[in-house]
Structure 1
Amino acid sequence: MSDPPEANMSRPRVVIVGAGFAGYQTARTLSRITRGRAEITLLNPTDYFLYLPLLPQVAAGVLEPRRVTVSLAGTLPRVRLVLGEADGIDLEGHWVHYTDPEGDGGRLEYDRLVLAVGSVNKLLPVPGVAEHAHGFRGLPEALYLRDHVTRQVELAAASDDPKSCASRCTFVVVGAGYTGTEVAAHGQLFTDALVRKQPLRQGVRPRWLLLDIAPRVLPELDERLSRTADRVLRGRGVEVRTGTSVEEATPTGVRLSDGEFIDTRTLVWCVGVRPDPLVEGLGRPLERGRLLVDPYLQVPGHPEVFACGDAAAVPDLEKPGQYTPMTAQHAWRHGKVAGRNVAASLGFGERRVYRHRDMGFTVDLGGVKAAANPLGVPLSGPLAGAVTRGYHLAAMPGNRVRVAADWFLDAVLPRQAVQLGLVRSWSVPLESASPELARVAGGPPPQSRPAPVTRGTPAATQGADTHAVPDPGRPTATGPRKSAVLDPGRPGAPGDDQPGSADAREPGRGGPGVDGPSPAGSGPGRPATPGADEPASGRSAASGSGESVAYRPMASGSGGSGSAEPEAPGTDEPSPGRPEAPGSDKPAPAAPEASGPDKPRPARPAGPRPDNPPEGQS
């Protein structure tokens, strides 16, 4: 039974933005401590928590897609779920603006705010990558890759052209961190299973290449385990090329840094992640794009605002002067501490600082093989594989029996490999700031957002390395308004699966690059002006109070080099070395109606001030 309206008005309001590893754990911990004495709202674009470490097994057909998704409503009974993407935050007015899946806007008032917005694919300034590569950060991307690989093998098996057959059966993965290594390992086993049922031309075999500019695979790990992973991959026929990167991607292949051109229709981009662009517009100090917080995970100057996960730069108290890495392990533990500290600021318990002890990591290499380092003990082979699967079953917040059942069925039955055709190339662009959402044909065009700093909030002048660009054309908010700027689209000719085209209705048709670039006019908001880091100008919703509000800039492709892959966790924590699952606040698909200045704000309940959190209360 729901609480009466009077009870809701008397409870403090907590808004959590994002249901990745950090956001989900924050909601679960806070709900358990407060037991209905706080109104907890979780804003997320999907109704599930994604267990990202098992995503490569979805792409390889080992697990069904729903196995790696955990229902938010089913596992967080005292938490109100709001479907939508945060696109504006007013730190002074204490509200978050969001857009729901159908394009309608809304606003959430808060007394405490937790930003757990996660991260997005990191793009490098490599020509053609944004048009012809796909990332691996969300369920739609995994489903697309499974269909795409299946289609390429089926087309190759029916082809009479040896060159076309070899090109379609060549798969390039860039980034030899945790994600890239697992994608290549599982992908190679998947294509081997496919060609046993559909033999290719004589002399043609599926070819997988794993590239990284680093001197070895899994550079974050102990060198012994890195050698183990390298040996397993090479033993299966995966071409591991270290010290090598991609200089250009084209519709028919990629040019490597050593000058070699690889004919391929598949380019998987796993070079790492960068913080969600929403935090850049807050006008607060940043550390490499991450929001600086104190050891209690609170934002300096705004003690009612907490941040955790990939979007937060949390001081590492064990290594002074450094910050905790962007891994699922840290995000999961951030969430526990954030939940406790939010509760403490409301008078429930004591707050505590974040201290982390590395419990180890696991890397699944497919089949019974893995590389693991639980509690610092290096393991490899079948023993590491058993430890890895046992760890995942213990860490997952749901679906354990179903996951174990799928593993058993995969061991005793032939793997099913059919194209479902649910996700097309144009619906999962690499530069999307919402990898957990697939674009829908005929839906509203994505909007580009500028990144102005919030009025009344000091700009990030110290420690900030990301500059917010104010929108010169945005008038002061005086009432409801709506404006939209259509995205100029991604460059390149329409892909073979462009919505509305004849080829879009024929799953077997091939096309340029990874099934071709996205159709023109439907890109995810890349800047029309030069400079990868400059956000394109577009609509910005008005603040009801007449103040300037920070809006999310679109993810546009810059971001450093290398691979931002992490280390692994301990028990009851998300997998080793994975960046946390995408957060919830990504650019909205349509321009919402902004709230007018006459809309009254609900009265804020009386309670302890966030700048004086009570200590020792229980």
Structure 2
Amino acid sequence: MNTVTRPRILVVGAGFAGVGCVRRLERRLAAHEADVTLVTPFAYQLYLPLLPQVASGVLTPQSIALSLRRSKRYRTRIIPGGAIGVDLDAKVCVIRTITDEIVNERYDYIVLAPGSITRTFDIPGLTDHAYGMKTLAEAAYIRDHVIAQLDLADASHDPDERAARLQFVVVGGGYAGTETAACLQQLTHNAVKRYPRLDPALIKWHLIDIAPKLMPELGDKLGREAQEILRRRGIEISLGVSIAKAGAEEVTFTDGRVVPTRTLIWTAGVVASPLIATLGEETIRGRLAVTPQLALPGRDGVFALGDAAAVPDLAKPGEDAVCPPTAQHAMRQAKVAADNVIASLRGGPVQPYEHRDLGLVVDLGGADAVSKPLGVELHGLPAQLVARGYHWSALRTNVAKTRVLTNWMLNAIAGDDFVRTGFQARRPAKLKDFEYTDAYLTPEQLREHVTGAEGRG
């Protein structure tokens, strides 16, 4: 078959969903059947659940960034850039490359797996003064920032400034926020022993969430166990509380408390990538509404999955539920999406996605964890073994597994190190600087761009 006439399959996003889909397409499609292209600004798949351990220095950044170019046997073309708009009528994806060039990529089949971004609210000062925990750069930056606060507090002659630099606020009582607070608190607890001029009692971590419970998916028993572990470590947990205002040197809680701090970490949930808004299609809480077959209704050759898609959860019949935005679902949806693209290409039947959740794991650092595999409630060392065993087995490559296991062993034997790498520039980079949320086109700009390009062509 001539190269020009081969169907073009475009996959957007290199997360669990996108990479899993691409790899299955490569395995199950003959080279002459289709051309596969992947759009991603970074040529690696990030193992997102282990970001808190990168922030705390237990793992190196490279260990959870799985290169997409490492193997020579993969034939997918990678476009280094971000999709900023999709015109479904013209079958064109608009891409901003890493050189800031705007290009149009045509497709016959498109798989939308752009993932999610940090969910923010209209809180004064939030995007200007908060750090996120959604990207590898953010995790590495936060580690530098936290260690820098110890250095700056040690160098300060002002007791008020010293106390403010040693207070840390994490917003979000879900898995990301809880693990981030737990891992970073352990880092500062161990690091302050190397600062004889600093009073360890000055280090205070606050974990707050507007919800009435910490990680409610765990159930009451394990949720209380997690809270007790954190409180024993000295982390102050405030539920039913959020942020009213964020400043450069203090944060105001909705209950009126004002906490002097230079560190506000925002992990209060995620929303679908802004790319979804450019489609002009039906959404459910911002996620693209798709069928159980992961297809966009009324649009041939359009599939969506992962955090950006509201996939009906067939394992919960009668509840009108959609699958939660977790890695567990994204990895399994990837296989169904790839199989359904191939079925559509070959004229075969497509299959629905159905998966019953296997459970939850929460790594709180050290020997502390809470886990609920297949409904069995565990805490302490058994839960830690389950949590790390699950993450280790879910890593896609043997190289990544070796690096992570080596990092864990080295940390267990040698303990933490407190090296500040120097990533932190003099101008602070905050949440809005990492996720490029202002890069996307409006539906009107998208149509104007595509129509103009067609006219010039």
Identify the TM-score tier after normalising by the shorter chain: over 0.9
1:86 touches 1:99 (CA, 8 Å); kept in 2?
yes
Aligned pair 1:336/2:335, yes or no? yes
Aligned pair 1:145/2:142, yes or no? yes
Greater strand content: 2
> What is the total number of aligned residue pairs between the two structures?
451
Matched residue, 1:606: none
Paired with 1:23 and 1:414, the residues of 2 have a C-alpha distance of 36
CA-to-aligned-CA distance 1:99-134 (integer Å, 9 cap, x gap): 111112222211100010111111112111111111
The amino acid across from 1:451 in the alignment is: T
Matched residue, 1:411: 412
Secondary structure class of the residue paired with 1:346: helix
Matched residue, 2:84: 87
The amino acid across from 2:146 in the alignment is: V
2:85 touches 2:279 (CA, 8 Å); kept in 1?
no
Matched residue, 1:451: 442
The amino acid across from 2:261 in the alignment is: T
Matched residue, 2:383: 384
Shift of 1:350: 4.7
Paired with 1:308 and 1:233, the residues of 2 have a C-alpha distance of 34
Paired with 2:426 and 2:229, the residues of 1 have a C-alpha distance of 31
Paired with 2:428 and 2:103, the residues of 1 have a C-alpha distance of 25
CA-to-aligned-CA distance 1:347-389 (integer Å, 9 cap, x gap): 1865210112010010000001111111111111001101111
Paired with 1:357 and 1:252, the residues of 2 have a C-alpha distance of 45
Paired with 1:31 and 1:48, the residues of 2 have a C-alpha distance of 17
Correspondent of 2:288 among 287, 291, 294: 291
Query: Are residues 598 and 160 of structure 1, via their aligned partners in 2, closer, same or farther at CA, if it must alter by over 3 Å?
Result: closer
Matched residue, 1:253: 250
Query: Are residues 25 and 150 of structure 1, via their aligned partners in 2, closer, same or farther at CA, if it must alter by over 3 Å?
Result: same
Matched residue, 1:577: none
Paired with 1:427 and 1:33, the residues of 2 have a C-alpha distance of 46
Query: Are residues 236 and 67 of structure 1, via their aligned partners in 2, closer, same or farther at CA, if it must alter by over 3 Å?
Result: same
The amino acid across from 1:64 in the alignment is: T
Structure 1 unmatched runs, 5+: 1-5, 438-445, 453-469, 478-541, 547-594, 600-618
Which structure has the higher relative contact order (CA within 8 Å, separation 6+)?
1
Correspondent of 1:271 among 268, 271, 289: 268
TM-score (norm 2): 0.94
Shift of 1:30: 1.5
1:136 touches 1:268 (CA, 8 Å); kept in 2?
yes
Q: Which moved more, 1:325-334 or 1:178-187?
A: 325-334
CA-to-aligned-CA distance 1:374-412 (integer Å, 9 cap, x gap): 111111100110111111111000210111001011011
Paired with 1:151 and 1:102, the residues of 2 have a C-alpha distance of 32
Paired with 1:327 and 1:245, the residues of 2 have a C-alpha distance of 24
Paired with 2:157 and 2:424, the residues of 1 have a C-alpha distance of 28
Q: Which moved more, 1:219-228 or 1:373-382?
A: 219-228
Paired with 1:273 and 1:282, the residues of 2 have a C-alpha distance of 19
The amino acid across from 2:10 in the alignment is: V
The amino acid across from 2:329 in the alignment is: H
Aligned pair 1:96/2:93, yes or no? yes
Matched residue, 2:403: 402
Query: Are residues 229 and 268 of structure 1, via their aligned partners in 2, closer, same or farther at CA, if it must alter by over 3 Å?
Result: same
Query: Are residues 425 and 303 of structure 1, via their aligned partners in 2, closer, same or farther at CA, if it must alter by over 3 Å?
Result: farther
Matched residue, 2:121: 124
Q: CA RMSD in A?
A: 2.0
Query: Are residues 202 and 419 of structure 1, via their aligned partners in 2, closer, same or farther at CA, if it must alter by over 3 Å?
Result: closer
Shift of 1:431: 3.4
Q: Which moved more, 1:280-289 or 1:44-53?
A: 280-289
1:340 touches 1:350 (CA, 8 Å); kept in 2?
no
Matched residue, 2:177: 180
Secondary structure class of the residue paired with 1:338: helix
Paired with 1:200 and 1:248, the residues of 2 have a C-alpha distance of 32
Correspondent of 2:215 among 211, 214, 218: 218
The amino acid across from 1:381 in the alignment is: G
Matched residue, 1:39: 35
Paired with 2:396 and 2:426, the residues of 1 have a C-alpha distance of 31
Correspondent of 2:317 among 299, 307, 319: 319
Matched residue, 1:19: 14
Paired with 1:211 and 1:351, the residues of 2 have a C-alpha distance of 44
Shift of 1:428: 4.5
Paired with 1:236 and 1:388, the residues of 2 have a C-alpha distance of 20
CA-to-aligned-CA distance 1:424-455 (integer Å, 9 cap, x gap): 486744235x63x7xxxxxxxx9665522xxx
Matched residue, 1:62: 58
Query: Are residues 447 and 237 of structure 1, via their aligned partners in 2, closer, same or farther at CA, if it must alter by over 3 Å?
Result: closer
Secondary structure class of the residue paired with 1:228: helix
Aligned pair 1:191/2:188, yes or no? yes
Matched residue, 2:431: 430
Paired with 2:214 and 2:197, the residues of 1 have a C-alpha distance of 30
- Write out aligned runs for 1:500-539 (5 A): none
1:73 touches 1:79 (CA, 8 Å); kept in 2?
no
1:121 touches 1:431 (CA, 8 Å); kept in 2?
no
Query: Are residues 138 and 229 of structure 1, via their aligned partners in 2, closer, same or farther at CA, if it must alter by over 3 Å?
Result: same
The amino acid across from 1:25 in the alignment is: G
- Write out aligned runs for 1:575-594 (5 A): none
1:33 touches 1:348 (CA, 8 Å); kept in 2?
no
Q: Which moved more, 1:289-298 or 1:324-333?
A: 324-333
Secondary structure class of the residue paired with 1:371: strand
Query: Are residues 242 and 450 of structure 1, via their aligned partners in 2, closer, same or farther at CA, if it must alter by over 3 Å?
Result: same
Q: Which moved more, 1:67-76 or 1:135-144?
A: 67-76
2:370 touches 2:378 (CA, 8 Å); kept in 1?
yes
Matched residue, 1:309: 306
